Amino acid sequence: MAVIELAALPVIETDALVVGAGPTGLMAGLVLARRGVDVLVIDAKSGPTRESRALAVQARTVEIYDQLGLAEDMLAEAFEARSVQVGNSAAGVVAGLADAQGAATRYPGIHVFEQSRNEELLGEALAARAPVRWNTRLIAILDDGSEPGAQDGPAHAEALAEGPEGLVRIRARWCIGADGAGSAVRHAMGVGFQGVTDHATFYVADLRGVRGVPEETIAIRIGGGSLALLFPMGPGGHARIISMAPGPEVGQDEALAAARSELGITCADVDWFSTYRVHHRVASAFRKGQLFLAGDAAHVHSPVGGQGMNTGLQDAHNLANHLADIALGIAAPAAADAYEAERRPVAKRLVSVTDRLFGLVAGRSRGTARLRRLIAPLAGFAAPRVLASRLGSHVAGLLGQYRIRYGAADRAAVGGADRAVGLRLPEVGANAEALRRLSWQVHTYGAHVDHCDLPTAVDGPLDFGADPQGRLSAERAYLVRPDGFVAASLPVEDGAIGAGALRVALAANDLIPA
């Protein structure tokens, strides 16, 4: 066996190494590149994904695409699902999901845009700045940066990879593992991936000529022995079904026969069929040294609610902005700690909720089957009424992922009594255009500010006029992060932002003062 002399291998230096060029890795690479950070994205595959896997794009993800200038292209190709139909037949009442979200986001409803098309959209945007290195496989992490190095300056991670031209060492300030549920980066970190694998078998199929499902509607069919979700993918009955299989092993004909007899779902043709098991797992840590996990490498769960791809994209958006702040000298290295503190609780809540829902709808016991039969007519009756209520608006916001709140270690330091703190900034006036700068900003919404001693890296104060919905106070100034979340609420008195309050808020967010 040949001995590899590591010192003799070529070395690539970069700020960030991203392992995996799925939606999560591409989002991380694009945000870093857009903010002027040197990034290298590698993937063992020969090219982008062609299979149609995840397909639901939630409202918050479209808002992020808008910030990156990609929403218009995405919406031009997406198929919009504005409603939900719950029940056990085509006669179920349609509930208005878009209506429940409409006042809170410019992109209500669920946008059906397959994973492969998300990858194409993000990949083309990234290619102009940092093209993906395909056919390049991570071999090992040589140094995770968790121990102090001999070199001066920031800690680094070092990886060994194999590409078309042979072995290469990659030395990066950070390494992001976006390489899926079997993540090599996670294995190198040595962190656990706690959770369970459900014994039930599910199948997924892309169908043509489906009958009995209203246009632009996600249908949830509930039977005693089965449950199915149908996502519209285009006109003429083009839909995807995700359903429990009638047994542990199932073929296409048996599965679709059960869907027809149990749930009343028929189709003319099948484009694609596959079976799988559902996993509910969360990594015990999202960071070790200079290594980070995002997307499926950090958490996996059931497809209930169409949350998976969106959560990974938002992991990447969050992490890349924290790392860019550090790389650009805007924030101290401690700012990287915020990623795990903010995103791991999101993943844990998501896995917990989807696990409980999955247990309710997918259990094989006779009791669960009887419960499903009872729930079906009640759910069809209740769904439109719930979505039209205040509770429905809250649930719709969680589904759309725009109601996620990030907590601060010291809420008093950032004006946490203001309910806007920790939430994504609502759209008012032209503030969406300002957020496309991907910079730290101070906003006001009717408050007059003559002077504010801001660090040079913080834009503002920018006034967008009073918030007609009253979510943002006309007597406060808001410190807004590059990812669009409100980092602090600051008092405005006599045309000035309190210097002491500003100093405390900057320190709480690890920002480096001017």
Domain of 496, CATH number, reads 3.40.30.120
What is the per-residue pLDDT across 393-432, written as a single tens digit (0 to 9) for each? 877 888 889 999 998 878 888 998 999 999 999 999 999 9
Whether residue 390 sits in one domain with residue 336: no
Residues comprising the chain, all counted:
514
Kindly state whether residue 137 falls inside one of the protein's structural domains: yes
Kindly state whether residue 358 falls inside one of the protein's structural domains: no
Q: How far apart are CA 103 and CA 237, in angstroms?
A: 30
What is the per-residue pLDDT across 325-364, written as a single tens digit (0 to 9) for each? 999 999 999 999 999 999 999 999 887 776 666 655 555 5
Position 230 scores a pLDDT of 87
Kindly state whether residue 156 falls inside one of the protein's structural domains: yes
Q: How far apart are CA 353 and CA 196, in angstroms?
A: 14
Residue 25 CB contacts under 8 Å (≥ 6 apart), including other chains: 18, 19, 41, 43, 176, 178, 179, 294, 295, 316
% the chain with pLDDT above 90: 58
Give the bridge partners for 485, in sequence order.
424
The domain total for the chain is 3
Whether residue 245 sits in one domain with residue 212: yes
Kindly state whether residue 230 falls inside one of the protein's structural domains: yes
Nearest to 295 by CA among 197, 183, 402: 183
**72: confidence class by pLDDT, cuts 50, 70, 90:** very high
What's the predicted TM-score (pTM) here? 0.92
Domain with residue 296: its CATH number is 3.50.50.60
Position 497 scores a pLDDT of 93
Kindly state whether residue 360 falls inside one of the protein's structural domains: no
- Domain boundary pick from 374, 402, 430: 402
Residue 151 pLDDT greater than 80, yes or no: no
Q: Of the ranges 225-229, 262-266, 355-359, 487-491, which is most confident?
A: 487-491
Secondary structure E strands in 264-340: 269-283, 287-288, 291-293, 299-300
* Across 256-265, 278-287, 465-474, least confident range: 256-265
Domain with residue 218: its CATH number is 3.30.70.2450
Q: For residues 174 and 16, is the Cβ–Cβ distance under 8 A? A: yes
Residue 271 pLDDT greater than 50, yes or no: yes
Kindly state whether residue 514 falls inside one of the protein's structural domains: no
Whether residue 455 sits in one domain with residue 376: no
Whether residue 85 sits in one domain with residue 99: yes
Share the mean pLDDT of the chain: 88
Residue 149 pLDDT greater than 70, yes or no: no
Mean pLDDT for 473-483 is 97
Whether residue 436 sits in one domain with residue 329: no
Whether residue 263 sits in one domain with residue 326: no
Nearest to 32 by CA among 68, 61, 63: 68
Whether residue 442 sits in one domain with residue 502: yes
Q: For residues 209 and 237, is the Cβ–Cβ distance under 8 A? A: yes
Position 385 scores a pLDDT of 66
**84: confidence class by pLDDT, cuts 50, 70, 90:** confident
Residue 168 pLDDT greater than 50, yes or no: yes
Position 52 scores a pLDDT of 63
Kindly state whether residue 357 falls inside one of the protein's structural domains: no
Q: Cis omega (within 30 of 0) on the bond before 461?
A: yes
Whether residue 118 sits in one domain with residue 104: no
Whether residue 85 sits in one domain with residue 72: no
Q: How far apart are CA 45 and CA 52, in angstroms?
A: 16
* Across 227-241, 338-352, 461-475, least confident range: 227-241
Whether residue 102 sits in one domain with residue 38: no
Position 1 scores a pLDDT of 45
Residue with structure tokens 């990974």?
Answer: 312
Kindly state whether residue 331 falls inside one of the protein's structural domains: yes
Residue 479 CB contacts under 8 Å (≥ 6 apart), including other chains: 414, 440, 441, 442, 458, 486, 487, 488, 489, 490, 502, 505, 506, 509
Q: For residues 83 and 92, is the Cβ–Cβ distance under 8 A? A: no
Position 365 scores a pLDDT of 57
Whether residue 382 sits in one domain with residue 396: yes
DSSP letter (8 states) at residue 133: B
Residue 205's domain comprises 80-109+198-277+365-402
Nearest to 273 by CA among 291, 293, 254: 254
DSSP letter (8 states) at residue 70: -
Whether residue 215 sits in one domain with residue 69: no
